[in-house]
C-alpha cells in the first residue's frame, strides 16, 4: 500500500507545474545624444551614446528579451537597434501620450520586454505599471538608469539599478 501511495504521489508531482505566469519589463532612457543644436527635437546619438547602445545590447543579450518598444525618435530607436538586430526583433513604436499601460501588462504575460523612452517618460511609464507615484523624472545627464518591473501571478515588484 505504501508503494501505491508513493507512485500516486510521484505521478502527481511529476506532472504538476506551478503557475508562473511571470513578465519582466526592463525600462531605460535613450543613450547619450548630440547636444549641439538645442532646436533639434530629434538629435542622433553621440559617440558615447553609440557605445552605450552596444553596452545595453551586451547587458540584455542573455535576458531572453522577446519584444522591444521604443518611442519614434532617432536616439531611442538607435539605443535598442543593436539588440534588436542581434536578436532579429522588430522595434515596436509606441507613443507615451496614447499608451494603455494596463493593456500592455495584460498583453505581455510571460514575456521579457525592453522599453526605451526619455527622461520624462520612463519614470511615468514605470509608475503607471506599478500603479504608484514612486519614481521621479530622470536627470537630463543620466543615461544609466535601468528600471525592472516584474509581474508574477498578479504580484508586481520593481527596482531601479544603474548600469554603466
Span 30-52, pLDDT tens digits: 999 999 999 999 999 999 999 99
What per-residue confidence (pLDDT) applies to 159? 98
CA dihedral sign of residues 61, 105, 123, 78: positive
The x, y and z cell numbers of residue 71, run together, are: 518611442
**What are 111-136's pLDDT values in tens digits?**
999 999 999 999 999 999 999 999 99
Hey, where are the domains in the chain? 19-162
Q: Which residues contact 87 (CB under 8 A, 6 or more apart)?
A: 61, 65
What per-residue confidence (pLDDT) applies to 104? 93
What per-residue confidence (pLDDT) applies to 102? 85
How many of the other CB atoms lie within 10 Å of CB of 46?
16
Q: What is the mean pLDDT of residues 90-95?
A: 97
| The pLDDT of residue 151 is above 80 | yes
Indicate the SS3 state at residue 83.
helix
What per-residue confidence (pLDDT) applies to 153? 87
Q: What is the mean pLDDT of residues 148-162?
A: 95
pLDDT averaged over every residue in the chain: 90
Domain 19-162 of CATH type 3.10.20.30: no
**What are 3-28's pLDDT values in tens digits?**
544 444 444 434 444 456 799 999 99
The x, y and z cell numbers of residue 117, run together, are: 523612452
Amino acid at each position: 500500500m505504501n508503494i501505491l501511495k508513493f507512485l500516486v504521489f510521484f505521478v502527481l508531482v511529476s506532472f504538476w507545474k506551478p503557475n508562473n505566469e511571470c513578465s519582466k519589463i526592463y525600462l531605460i532612457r535613450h543613450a547619450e545624444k548630440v547636444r549641439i543644436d538645442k532646436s533639434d527635437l530629434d538629435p542622433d546619438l553621440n559617440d558615447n551614446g553609440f557605445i552605450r547602445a552596444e553596452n545595453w545590447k551586451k547587458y540584455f543579450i542573455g535576458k531572453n528579451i522577446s519584444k522591444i518598444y521604443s518611442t519614434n525618435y532617432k536616439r531611442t530607436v538607435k539605443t535598442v537597434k543593436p539588440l534588436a538586430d542581434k536578436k532579429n526583433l522588430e522595434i515596436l513604436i509606441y507613443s507615451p501620450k496614447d499608451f494603455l499601460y494596463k493593456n500592455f501588462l495584460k498583453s505581455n504575460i510571460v514575456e521579457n520586454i525592453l522599453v526605451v523612452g526619455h527622461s520624462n517618460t520612463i519614470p511615468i511609464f514605470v509608475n503607471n505599471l506599478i500603479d504608484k507615484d514612486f519614481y521621479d523624472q530622470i536627470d537630463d545627464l543620466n543615461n544609466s538608469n535601468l528600471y525592472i518591473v516584474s509581474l508574477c501571478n498578479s504580484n508586481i515588484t520593481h527596482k531601479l539599478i544603474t548600469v554603466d
